[in-house]
């Protein structure tokens, strides 16, 4: 699937002025959340991103994220449509290194997004997350070949693609019920704002680093 059809070019344009993380990582974050949560409105997404210490999104990016989340939830809820889900990764006209790094970033985003849903895991799901964390831990230098080349990349891509499909059967909950913002009214101040005003003595990380837990150093 080329970059125009996949939405890669649309995302790249909408997020052009926002450089906190890659568009693949944002898409992974959104997907992880949408396997367990109902799609929030723009205000809901803004609160989630603020609590995760991201800079505010430009309006086109926030609108695109909100619309994509709604489409993703709709797609993953349908057993037949779910199998056509695609992570946001550049097409095969991009070099292999770029595609592998994008998939790594998508995997890390998914781990973060699903991690903040605080959902229980079956043994099979836990094993899948551990394997996804290995993709998120891939390290390559700019001039380093990816072991196994295209064939290995397609294998891990297909595995990553199927994770949200496998995770999407659980009952979804509203974003406002997440521990990340539980008890926080949607017009309340964010963690960063409260820290700046001295209401919090020190930063409190909202997310457990699942990758580091599952991968020995």
Q: pLDDT tens, 10-45?
A: 999 999 999 999 999 999 999 999 999 999 999 999
pLDDT at 1: 57
Q: Hey, which residues does 37 pair with through a beta bridge?
A: 173
For residue 151, give both structure tokens.
């064939």
CB 1 within 8 Å of CB 85:
no
Domain range summary for the chain, segments of one domain joined by +: 3-210
Residue 162 CA to residue 128 CA, distance in Å, equals: 10
**Residue 63 Cα distances to 20, 115, 209, angstroms:** 17, 24, 28
pLDDT over 90 at 163, yes or no:
yes
pLDDT at 196: 57
Residue 38 CA to residue 171 CA, distance in Å, equals: 9
Q: Three-state DSSP class for 19?
A: coil
pLDDT at 204: 34
pLDDT at 191: 45
DSSP the chain: --HHHHTHHHHHHHTTT--SS-HHHHHHHHHHHHTTBPPP-HHHHHHHHHHTTPPPPPHHHHHHHHHHHHHHHHHHHSHHHHTT-------TTS-HHHHHHHHHHHHHHHHHHHHTTT----HHHHHHHHHHHHHHT----TTPPPTTHHHHHHHHHHHHHHHHHHHTTSPPB-GGGSTTTTT--TTSPPHHHHHHTTSSSS----S--HHHHHS--
pLDDT at 68: 97
How large is the average pLDDT for residues 133-161?
Answer: 88
Over pLDDT 90: what percentage of the chain? 65
What digits encode the pLDDT tens for the residues 69-119?
999 999 998 878 899 999 999 998 899 999 999 999 999 999 999 999 989
Superfamily of segment(s) 3-210: YgfB uncharacterised protein family PF03695 (1.20.120.740)
- Which of 71-75, 136-140, 170-174, 180-184 is the least confident region? 180-184
* Residue 209 falls in which region: left (phi positive, over 0), alpha (psi -120 to 50) or beta: beta
Q: Please state the pTM of the whole predicted model.
A: 0.81
């Amino acid at each position: 699937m080329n970059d125009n059809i996949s939405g890669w070019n649309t995302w790249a344009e909408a997020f052009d002025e926002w450089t906190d993380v890659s568009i693949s990582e944002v898409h992974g974050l959104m997907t992880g959340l949408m396997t367990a949560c109902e799609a929030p409105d723009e205000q809901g997404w803004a609160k989630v991103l603020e609590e995760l210490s991201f800079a505010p999104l430009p309006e086109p990016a926030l609108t695109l994220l909100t619309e994509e989340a709604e489409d993703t939830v709709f797609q993953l809820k349908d057993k037949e449509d779910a199998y056509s889900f695609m992570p946001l990764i550049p097409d095969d006209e991009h070099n292999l290194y770029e595609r592998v790094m994008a998939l790594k970033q998508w995997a890390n985003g998914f781990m973060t997004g699903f991690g903040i849903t605080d959902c229980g895991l079956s043994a099979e799901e836990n094993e899948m997350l551990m394997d996804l964390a290995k993709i998120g831990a891939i390290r390559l230098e700019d001039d380093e070949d990816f072991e196994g080349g295209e064939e290995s990349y397609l294998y891990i891509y297909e595995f990553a693609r199927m994770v949200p499909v496998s995770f999407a059967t659980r009952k979804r909950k509203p974003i406002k019920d997440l521990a990340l913002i539980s008890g926080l009214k949607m017009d309340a101040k964010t963690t960063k704002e409260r820290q700046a005003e001295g209401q919090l003595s020190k930063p409190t990380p909202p997310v457990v680093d699942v990758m580091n837990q599952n991968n020995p150093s």
